[in-house]
Amino acid sequence: MISVFNTKKDCCGCTACQQNCPSHAIAMKPDEEGFLYPEINQELCIDCGLCREICVFQNGYDTSENFHIPYVYAVKHKNEKIRMSSSSGGAFTAISDYILAHKGFVCGVAFDNDMNPVHQIASTKEERDKFKGSKYVQSDLGNIYSDIKKLLEQDKTVLFTGTPCQTAGLKSYLADYKMGNLFLCDLVCHGTPSPLMWREHIKSLENKEKSKVVQYYCRSKIKGWHGHNEMVIYKNGKKDYKSLLSQKHKILFYSHTILRPSCHCCRYTNFKRPSDITIADFWGIDKCMSDFDDNKGVSLVLINTLKGKKLFDEIRGNLFYRKSNIKDCLQPNLQHPPKPSDKREQFWEDYKLNGYEYVIKKYANISLKNRVKRLVKVLLSLIGALNIVVKVKNYYSVKH
C-alpha cells in the first residue's frame, strides 16, 4: 500500500490504521503544519489493505444504534465548585464520576509537563481532573486505542472522551470487540488547530515572560462563562488573561487559518454522532432559557444511544437539567464543517518564510498599529457613552 489516504483532507489523524496494522508498518509522522499523518514503511507493508478498510473518515461510520433524534438537555452540575472549574456546566465530571465510582477508567486529554495535549487514562478523580476544560489543539492519541482494548479484555469499564473523529476511530478499531463496557462521549468540535502553532504559542509566551507555562485554560471563566478568556499561569506565579499576547492562539483558532485540512470537510457536523453521549457548551441558552443561564456555564448534552440514556439516568441526581430540542441547541458545528479561511494558504507560506512572530502580528492583529487602533476604538466608544450620559443629564435638568 503506497498511502492510507489520497489527500490530506481524507485523514483526521485518528490512528486507527496505525494501531490496527498487523505488520506494524505504519507510523504517525508530523507534516510541515505539525499534524500527524500515517506514513507506511514499504519494506514492512504486506499490502493487506486493512489500513484503508478501517478508515471511517473515508468510508463512513456506523450509527445503527443511534436514536432517530437525540434527547437534548441543558445541564448544570449541582456542585458549583465543579461547575466553575469546568469549561461549561460540568457534565463531563458528572459522567466520569459515575464511571470512577464503579471502578472504571476514564480516558481524556491532559497537558503534559511540556504543555503538549496527550490522551491519557485515569483511575482516580485527581488524575481525571486534568482532563477538565477545553484544549484548543489536536491531541496526541499515542497507543490509547490499544490500551483501552487491553482494559476491555480485562472486563473493565471505560469512558472515552474526544473529538467525534477520534471517537469514531476508536469504535472502528474495536469493531464489535467487547463494546458493552465501553462508553463513548464526543464533543461538538469547532475543528482541531495545529500542534505546531500551539508549541510556537507556548514557546513565545515563555520567552516573553522568561518563565515556564505550568497551567493553561483555553476557556477560563475569570470574566464569566460568556467572557471566553484564555488564561496562562506561569511558574513565577503570574496569571495573564488580559494581554493580547495571551489571547493570540484563540484568535488564530477562530480565524480558521490553522485547522487540520480534514476539519473543513468533517463528516460529524450533524446530529448523527459516533458516540453514546455528546457534550458541549449550550450556546444560545440565554435566548431560549434565559432564567437557566447565570453566566457560570451550561452544558449541552445530547443522548444518542440507549446506553447513553441509561448512563444519563444514573447521574441525573447530581444535575440541574432541563429538556430542550434540536432547534434551540443548534450551533454552526452541528450543521456544517468550518469554512477554511481564504488566507490559510498564505498564512502557512508566510510562516515558512518568515516565522511565527511575523504571522502572529499579521494574522492575529497584535501589531503596534492594530493595538493603537483598538485603543482608539475603545476611547471613542467611551467618549460616545459619556456624551449620551451628559445629554440625558442635561435633558432631565432642563425638564425639571
| Cα dihedral value 54, 253, 363, 209, nearest 10 | -120
Q: Which amino acid, 277?
A: I
The whole-angstrom separation of Cα 145 and Cα 26 is 15
Strands (E), 193-258: 213-220, 229-234, 239-240
The pLDDT score that the predictor gives to residue 368 is 44
Contact 232, 246 (CB under 8 A): yes
Mean pLDDT by groups of 10 residues along the chain of 400 residues = 92 96 97 97 95 94 95 98 96 98 98 96 98 95 96 96 97 87 97 97 97 96 92 97 93 96 97 97 96 97 98 98 97 96 97 97 70 51 59 56
Q: Which grid cell is 309?
A: 440514556
The pLDDT score that the predictor gives to residue 365 is 79
The whole-angstrom separation of Cα 78 and Cα 272 is 29
Give the SS3 label for residue 28: strand
Q: Residue 159: beta bridge partners?
A: 106, 183
The pLDDT score that the predictor gives to residue 378 is 45
The pLDDT score that the predictor gives to residue 392 is 53
Q: Which grid cell is 226?
A: 460568556
Closest by CA position to 274, among listed 54, 66, 52: 66
- Residue 354 vs residues 44, 163, 250, 342, 361: alpha-carbon distances, Å: 38, 32, 21, 19, 11
Enter the pTM of the model. Answer: 0.90
Q: Which amino acid, 384?
A: G
Domains of the chain and CATH, by start: 8-59 (3.30.70.20), 62-364 (no CATH)
Task: Tell me how many degrees the CA angle 124-128-130 measures, rounded to the nearest 5.
Answer: 135
Can you say whether the dihedral through the CA atoms of 132, 310, 66, 56 is positive or negative?
positive
